[in-house]
């Protein structure tokens, strides 16, 4: 009896060991499959993030370039005030004002970023630094967007009404509609020209507007607001470039 009992226990222990080994193997296979699936999903997410942040970088670079043109035109208008105004061409004045009153805004793509932050799938990104940057990116935009609103409100509520009161704004609109190079940067595409519209508006004297003391104040505010907004934009640009660099490195390590 003792011999049979001993054999029974040995057999039972052996069965238990086999079952445990089987469970461990199954768990390992399941973990391997899950890790493989997570890596596949991570690679898909990285590709989506790369597209999103590359698009954002391209758009932001375009808005920075537009603001540089706004600054350039603003400084030219200030310089015009020091020259013989009778030697300044009306078309040149109209062009500079049309560029100065442009209101560029950065409208980033955040679909993938928001989905990751809201769905709880952010854990699929193994790189902790990347996770932190993706999480904090939307909050980085608040300063730029606030400055854009300041400039937008100034142009929309003060500057354009002031120009309309002291000048014929039709010629300025006509210059903007036919400013192909500038509009391409603004819209990121080739747009239609409206050549004939220029002849629909009568050219009136622009000198009173140019030499108006309040016009100088408006130009100064445009320079100040635009320069500060671009400084904030360059900071965001650097953050986007960091994110793109990390994404590319992670994709290389996976592939």
Q: Is the pLDDT reported for residue 2 higher than 70?
A: no
For residue 1, what pLDDT is reported? 56
Number of Cβ within 10 Å of residue 109's Cβ equals 14
Q: DSSP letters of 93-160?
A: HHHHHHHHT---------HHHHHHHHHSGGGG---HHHHHHHHHHHHHHHHHHHHHHHHHHHIIIIIH
The structure tokens listed for 55 are 């698009």
List, for residues 10-24, the tens digit of each pLDDT value: 666 767 777 778 777
List, for residues 59-108, the tens digit of each pLDDT value: 999 999 999 999 999 999 999 999 998 899 999 999 999 999 998 999 99
Q: Is the pLDDT reported for residue 188 higher than 60?
A: no
User: Residue 218 in contact with residue 161, Cβ under 8 Å?
Assistant: no
- What's the rounded Cα separation, in Å, for the pair 222 and 228? 10
- What's the rounded Cα separation, in Å, for the pair 186 and 177? 12
User: Per-residue pLDDT averaged across 186-204, rounded?
Assistant: 67
Residue 40 backbone zone (phi > 0: left; psi -120 to 50: alpha; other: beta) = alpha
For residue 154, what pLDDT is reported? 96
Lowest mean pLDDT among 2-6, 78-82, 154-158, 161-165: 2-6
For residue 200, what pLDDT is reported? 81
List, for residues 207-241, the tens digit of each pLDDT value: 999 999 999 999 999 999 999 999 999 999 999 99
For residue 7, what pLDDT is reported? 62
* pTM value surpassing 0.85: no
> Helix 90-100 vs helix 2-80: angle between axes, to the nearest 10 degrees?
150
Task: List the domain boundaries for the chain.
Answer: 2-254
* Residue 224 burial (C-beta neighbours within 10 Å; 0-12, 13-18, 19+): middle
| Residues of the chain above pLDDT 70, percent | 88
Query: Distance between alpha carbon 21 and the CA centroid of its chain, in Å?
Result: 53
The pLDDT mean for the chain works out to: 88
For residue 26, what pLDDT is reported? 73
């Amino acid at each position: 009896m003792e011999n049979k009992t001993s054999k029974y226990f040995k057999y039972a222990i052996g069965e238990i060991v086999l079952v445990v080994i089987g469970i461990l193997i199954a768990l390992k296979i399941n973990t391997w499959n899950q890790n493989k699936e997570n890596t596949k999903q991570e690679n898909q997410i990285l590709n989506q993030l790369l597209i999103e942040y590359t698009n954002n970088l391209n758009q932001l670079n375009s808005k920075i370039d537009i603001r540089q043109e706004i600054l350039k035109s603003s400084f030219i208008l200030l310089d015009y005030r020091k020259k013989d105004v009778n030697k300044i061409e009306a078309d040149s004045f109209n062009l500079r004002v049309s560029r100065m009153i442009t209101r560029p805004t950065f409208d980033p793509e955040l679909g993938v970023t928001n989905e990751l932050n809201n769905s709880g799938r952010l854990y699929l990104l193994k790189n902790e630094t990347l996770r932190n940057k993706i999480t904090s990116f939307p909050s980085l935009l608040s300063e730029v967007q606030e400055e854009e609103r300041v400039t937008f409100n100034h142009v929309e509520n003060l500057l354009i009404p002031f120009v309309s009161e002291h000048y014929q704004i039709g010629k300025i609109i006509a210059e903007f509609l036919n400013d192909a190079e500038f509009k391409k940067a603004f819209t990121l595409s080739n747009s239609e020209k409206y050549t004939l519209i220029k002849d629909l508006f009568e050219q009136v004297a622009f000198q009173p507007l140019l030499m108006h003391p309040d016009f100088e104040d408006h130009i100064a505010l445009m320079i100040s607001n635009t320069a500060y907004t671009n400084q904030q934009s360059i900071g965001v640009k650097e953050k986007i470039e960091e994110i793109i660099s990390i994404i590319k490195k992670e994709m290389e390590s996976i592939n």
